[in-house]
Amino acid sequence: MTRLICLTLLSMVVPLTAIASDAYVDSQVVYQVRDGADADTVAGSVGGQVIGEIGSANVFLMKYHLPVSVDTIVQMLDARPEVTMAQPNFIVKINLDQVSQPFVDQTSEAFVDGVMPAAYYHQYPGDRMRIDSAQTLTDGAGAIVAIIDGGLDNRHPVFAGRLHPAAFDFIDIDYAPWVFGGITADHGTFVAGVIARAAPAAKLMIVRCFGTSGSGTSFDIAHGIYHAARNGADVINMSFGMDHYDEAISNAASTAYYEYGVVMTAAAGNSADLQDRFPGSLPYVMNVAAVDSGDLKADFSNYGPSVSVSASGVDVYSTLTGGDVWGWWSGTSFAAPFAAGLAAMVKSVYDDAEPQFVMDLISRTADTIDHLNPEYVFFLGSGRVNFLNAVYLPGDANGSGGINIGDAVSILNFVFRNGPAALPLEAADANCDGAINLADAVFLIQYIFHGGGEPERCQY
């Protein structure tokens, strides 16, 4: 028997329409200083003391004791020339207004390998987004995906051999972000399972920034982003969001993108609004909306001009806490990790690719869904992600991962001897004339041996 838990929509949000006093940690400020400045002196100037630091970023967490508002302290710090950023230590919460409805399904389940249930592999996102076809070309090997979330139940069999050693827990401040129950732990475990399904050979770097109560802070999230980037993450998934800008997190994300070449994905949010939520609203973050099995916008999904792409996010099947426990869940929180997994797959093919190349490729190769969603044209990004379209190598007719004489031979076998077709077929259209024929084999031979033009992704 396999336990199956079905959970209603739930995702990380900040339920704020304005930045109220209960939206940040009382008497705490996050600030950044210029190189060479003394952070303790800065804190002391406003009656505070440093209680946390992100050393190489010159970012510090301060607790102050003066009987004044946090806005006053921020203004006092902003007035100092050595301070480059100051803000409250904002709180990010999981929305607990929705009621979870778990149940145990006692029906037997067919297994693929004796551990993982068939439903994990045989679910509509795999077919709709062509995940399985893409995995015949690459499995994400060599890529590292950091998951900034509520931790992970590392006892789950799906994660065996997949966890990166740079895991860290910014809640308990240790190297063991392993959690074994509760909705926050379920959220992080479920997200990780989605990425493991999408990019099975990628390593998962678990970065816990949300506690069992469902709360995280600006400082911990920013710290988590810096940690992931500096420990080699290729991709960072952020299945949470805020209704206002956060400079500390923005600076961390900017550093990860521009200095470390990290691709970042974020959930668009679940309030069904035309809304740009942070950090998905940042230009260097892929903001991901959710669609259902028919590529219709999920009724809960936010939408808007900042959305980069859409991905499956309704009735997704993945991992939950408790050991060998699985279930269904819906939310943009679970659409974003599909995009993160695809980014890992692309990085495994183009290992030196800049993050903008990866983001552009994923967007450019998505399947158009505007005709299915006429009310949301231009608001669901470039379309629903297509794994196969994004990872195939133009000219790689035999799927070897490179371009060589074997590809020309494969084309000749296909044209004249009824040999196997390329996957996708466009991979064999080396000259982009819209047909697979002898001219494509000649094109590849010219490229390989005579310095001819390089095969390119065709724009039909």
Token code pair at residue 175: 């190297």
Q: Look at residues 395, 411, 406, 396 and name the one whose alpha carbon lies nearest to residue 455.
A: 395
Instruction: Give the per-residue pLDDT at 4.
Output: 45
Whole-number Å distance between alpha carbons of 234 and 337? 14
Of residues 90 and 98, more confidently modeled: 90
The average pLDDT across 249-275 equals: 96
Lowest mean pLDDT: which of 86-90, 96-100, 111-115, 313-317?
Answer: 96-100
The yes-or-no answer on residue 187 being catalytic is yes
> What is the tens place of the pLDDT at every residue in 372-409?
999 999 999 999 999 999 999 999 999 888 999 999 99
Instruction: Give the per-residue pLDDT at 116.
Output: 79
Whole-number Å distance between alpha carbons of 215 and 108? 37
* Contacting residues for 309 by C-beta, under 8 A, at least 6 apart: 286, 288, 289, 339, 362, 363, 366, 381, 382, 383, 384, 385
Instruction: Give the per-residue pLDDT at 56.
Output: 84
The average pLDDT across 2-6 equals: 44
Report the chain's mean pLDDT, rounded to a whole number: 90
Q: Look at residues 332, 326, 331, 358 and name the one whose alpha carbon lies nearest to residue 345.
A: 358
Alpha helical stretches, state H, 155-303: 183-198, 218-230, 247-258
**pTM over the 0.85 mark:** yes
Lowest mean pLDDT: which of 112-121, 283-292, 299-308, 310-319?
Answer: 112-121
The average pLDDT across 342-357 equals: 95
Whole-number Å distance between alpha carbons of 257 and 4? 38
Instruction: Give the per-residue pLDDT at 367.
Output: 96
170 has a pLDDT exceeding 80: yes
For residue 160, CA distances in Å to 325, 327, 398 come to 14, 19, 31
Mean pLDDT: which of 93-107, 122-136, 218-232, 316-330 is highest?
A: 218-232
Q: Is the distance from CB of 407 to CB of 444 less than 8 angstroms?
A: yes
Instruction: Give the per-residue pLDDT at 119.
Output: 86
Share of the chain above pLDDT 90, in %: 80
Instruction: Give the per-residue pLDDT at 22.
Output: 61
Instruction: Give the per-residue pLDDT at 118.
Output: 85
37 has a pLDDT exceeding 80: yes
The yes-or-no answer on residue 149 being catalytic is yes
274 has a pLDDT exceeding 80: yes
Q: Is the distance from CB of 328 to CB of 7 less than 8 angstroms?
A: yes
Q: Give phi and psi for 444, each to the nearest 5.
A: -65, -40
355 has a pLDDT exceeding 90: yes
Catalytic residue among 187, 318, 330, 440: 187
328 has a pLDDT exceeding 80: yes
Instruction: Give the per-residue pLDDT at 325.
Output: 87
Question: What DSSP string describes 342-355?
Answer: HHHHHHHHSTT--H
Whole-number Å distance between alpha carbons of 187 and 205? 15
Token code pair at residue 343: 């980014």
Catalytic residue among 218, 312, 330, 333: 333
Instruction: Give the per-residue pLDDT at 8.
Output: 40
The yes-or-no answer on residue 367 being catalytic is no
Domains and CATH numbers, the chain: 13-92 (3.30.70.80), 118-391 (3.40.50.200), 393-460 (1.10.1330.10)
